[in-house]
Chain A
Amino acid sequence: MYVAVKGGEAAIENAHRLLAEKRRGDPAVPELTTEQIAEQLSLAVARVMAEGSLYDPDLAALAVKQARGDLIEAIFLVRAYRATLPRFGNTLPIDTATMAIERRISATFKDLPGGQLLGPTFDYTHRLLEPGAVTDGTRQPVAEAPVDADADAEPIPRVTDLLGRDGLIEPEVDGLDRPVGDLTREPLSFPADRDLRLQALARGDEGFLLALGYSTQRGYARSHPFAGEIRMGEVEVELDVPELGFAVSLGRITVTECQMVNQFKGNAEQPPQFTRGYGLAFGHAERKAMAMALCDRALRARELGEELTAPAQDEEFVISHSDNVQATGFVEHLKLPHYVDFQAELGLIRQLRAEHEAREAGDGTREAAE
């Protein structure tokens, strides 16, 4: 006999207990600490910080642990926490030209002021699974860092600044006659300016942006990109305090910046020159920064008077679908009960079928009579 679905509360509580048990796994295996995650899974932590839009390695590590390694779930945890934080002010723009560089490469020049610095990269590793290579026993001492990270060191000029000096690349202008937007505080409307687009891309899903960036390389809005420069390292974050009359340092954060240099044939107003695509992400997040830069350039199509032909150039399409917390919520909400609407559809299908059968039967009798 029919029993109404009861005890939702108990069921939810039990599900939470099971989740906790699964999260812990076999108790015979030592429990992970968040310090271990922050130190040893730092790229996962970086992604959670970047797409969670909150620079806090400890909280991001906790989120990774709590989410059982599901990074989108971890990003979601960080975002939900971030949404409750009061806003004290806006920091000054970070200056990546003064970055204490850990890695810096340019694909557009063989050598350049400041040099090429590989840093900690997977790029030239052979992707062979080597259990022995990731244990303490085989760690090799690291050579002295060639670049001095102290504040007195000569800043390393950005490639785009070098190109800009010769007027070969479009100047980067602060064209805003208003404060920089924030789509987490003000509703986004289309068309969106580049500041808001960049913010959306910075928060956007790495996989989604990677696929879109890739699509531009394969001819869907081809932009002839060159990786002008990728740099990663620490930058100072400063807050202007009007009462003091000067900016106060809040600390240092690690960011990855990618400046794509793209071909541009010029138009009626502008001579042929290189154009820019820009990517910036918290932590060491090269793939994200590069994909973001490709997408940024593609989304500038309208501004540059280019023909809009591909998904990556479609601002509404890209920005409306780049957020993985939104996307996962809506895809996964299909798990929620929909039986009321399904009942409505069931009723309709039955009615349509009955009508169809009646028509068929009607045709049959008519034919028989003819």
Chain B
Amino acid sequence: MIAAEALAGGFERSVFDAQAVFRAVLSALSRPGQVFDLGERVRPPAPLTAAAGAVIATLADDTTPVHLDAAFAGTAVADWIAFHTGAPLTETPGEATFAIVGRPGGLTFDGFATGTAEYPDRSATLIVILDTLTGGPALRLSGPGIEGTAALAPAPLTPDFMALMTANRALFPRGLDLILTAGTRVAGLPRTTRLSAGGV
């Protein structure tokens, strides 16, 4: 039985909403450290948020398995995603094209596809739901898309986030890409971004 909340709250103007969300995500991954506001384009069931819901509704479809972490267990989120995107849900991180992380305090990169040397693009994209992108401990970012350095202050995140990202960077050109979200806002952390503690 699908709950009514799983059916409601999709894009109102799907073609144009998807385009606007995609452009924001493209900008976010092209310019790490900058935050883009998507506005409230979807109203998904909790704990999925407007930004994370909009991103998955924009990018996922029946060809992209989606993995949800334990935060979503027992909620209508899986049904909402299945109804609005047609994406198959998977329990196995290694099968996921997209993964939505609802408990960033327990974030781990274990098991997700990081691509191969020949096809580094065959890797997962993690959509991480946070409380803030700018109000947490400051991180300094450098790499492609950034003129000099940029700053981002996402929270809450696992204490070993920096170590995870450093290990991820070391896999390059393989690796995971992250779309950080908070409320209606997104920021990108592609695999190319180098992190260090402290602001700009």
Contacts and interface: CB of A to CB of B under 8 A. Distances in A.
Interface of A: 185-186, 189
A189 B122 CA distance: 13
A188 to B, nearest CB: 13
3 contacts: A185-B63, A186-B63, A189-B119
A306 B48 CA distance: 55
A344 B92 CA distance: 53
Contacts of A185: 63
A189 B119 CA distance: 10
If over half of A's interface residues share one DSSP class (helix, strand or loop), that class is named, otherwise mixed; here it is loop
Nearest to A185: B63
A136 to B, nearest CB: 52
What is the size category of the interface that chain B forms with chain A? under 10
A83 B119 CA distance: 26
Nearest to B62: A87
Interface string B105-119: 000000000000001
A355 B63 CA distance: 58
Nearest to B118: A189
Interface in B94-139: 119
Nearest to A186: B63
Interface in B127-177: none
Contacts of B119: 189
A185 B62 CA distance: 12
Contacts of A189: 119
Interface in B30-89: 63
B62 to A, nearest CB: 9
Contacts of A186: 63
A185 B63 CA distance: 10
A185 B61 CA distance: 13
A180 to B, nearest CB: 14
Interface string B6-46: 00000000000000000000000000000000000000000
Contacts of B63: 185-186
A186 B122 CA distance: 13
Nearest to A189: B119
Task: List 3 A-B pairs, minimum CB-CB distance, nearest first.
Answer: A185-B63, A189-B119, A186-B63
A186 B119 CA distance: 14
A242 to B, nearest CB: 14
A189 B121 CA distance: 14
A189 B118 CA distance: 11
B86 to A, nearest CB: 11
B117 to A, nearest CB: 14
A240 B199 CA distance: 58
A91 to B, nearest CB: 17
A186 B61 CA distance: 14
B135 to A, nearest CB: 41
A318 B87 CA distance: 35
Nearest to A87: B62
A189 B63 CA distance: 17
A311 to B, nearest CB: 25
A122 B119 CA distance: 50
A186 B63 CA distance: 10
